[in-house]
C-alpha cells in the first residue's frame, strides 16, 4: 500500500491562533556558547550605506537577548548608535580596533576581517 501526496499538509498552515503565532516552547533552541568558544569577525563596511561607515561584528552563537545586551554595552563604550540584525551587531562609525579589544576583554576570540 502506497500513500499518495496530495500537496496539502494540514500542519503547514495556522488557521487560527489566539495567543500569537509562535511561543517560546515551539521556537528552535539557540545554543548560548560561552564567549571563549566563539570566533567573532569585526569588519568595517560602507556598502549600501550612502558612504557612511559601519563596523559589523558577526559570528555570534547567543540568544537574541544576549546579543542585544552586548550590543548595548558596545554602543555605549564607543559612544555611537547601532543595531542588531540576524546575529550580527552593527555599530555606526569605524570602531574595528576598539571593538576587537573590548571583545577580547570580555573573553571572546575576535579579530579584524576584510580590509
Question: Domain ranges in the chain?
Answer: 35-112
Q: For position 24, what pLDDT does the model report?
A: 52
Whole-number Å distance between alpha carbons of 44 and 90: 9
pLDDT along the chain (115 residues), means of 10: 55 62 56 85 89 92 90 95 93 94 93 84
Nearest to 100 by CA among 88, 89, 91, 109: 109
Q: For position 50, what pLDDT does the model report?
A: 85
Q: What's this model's pTM, rounded to 2 decimal places?
A: 0.71
Name the percent of the chain in helix, strand, coil, to the closest 5.
Answer: 25, 20, 55
3-class secondary-structure state, position 71: helix
CATH assignment, 35-112? 3.30.780.10
Q: For position 38, what pLDDT does the model report?
A: 87
Q: For position 51, what pLDDT does the model report?
A: 85
Q: For position 71, what pLDDT does the model report?
A: 95
Q: Are 41 and 108 in contact (CB under 8 A)?
A: no
Amino acid at each position: 500500500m502506497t500513500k499518495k501526496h496530495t500537496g496539502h499538509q494540514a500542519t503547514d498552515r495556522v488557521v487560527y491562533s489566539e495567543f500569537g503565532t509562535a511561543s517560546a516552547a515551539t521556537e528552535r533552541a539557540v545554543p548560548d556558547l560561552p564567549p571563549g568558544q566563539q570566533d567573532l569577525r569585526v569588519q568595517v563596511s560602507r556598502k549600501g550605506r550612502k558612504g557612511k561607515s559601519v563596523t559589523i561584528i558577526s559570528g555570534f552563537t547567543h540568544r537574541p537577548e544576549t546579543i542585544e545586551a552586548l550590543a548595548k554595552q558596545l554602543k555605549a563604550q564607543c559612544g555611537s548608535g547601532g543595531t542588531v540584525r540576524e546575529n550580527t551587531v552593527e555599530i555606526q562609525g569605524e570602531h574595528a580596533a576598539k571593538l576587537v579589544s573590548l571583545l577580547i576583554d570580555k573573553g571572546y576570540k575576535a579579530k579584524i576581517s576584510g580590509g
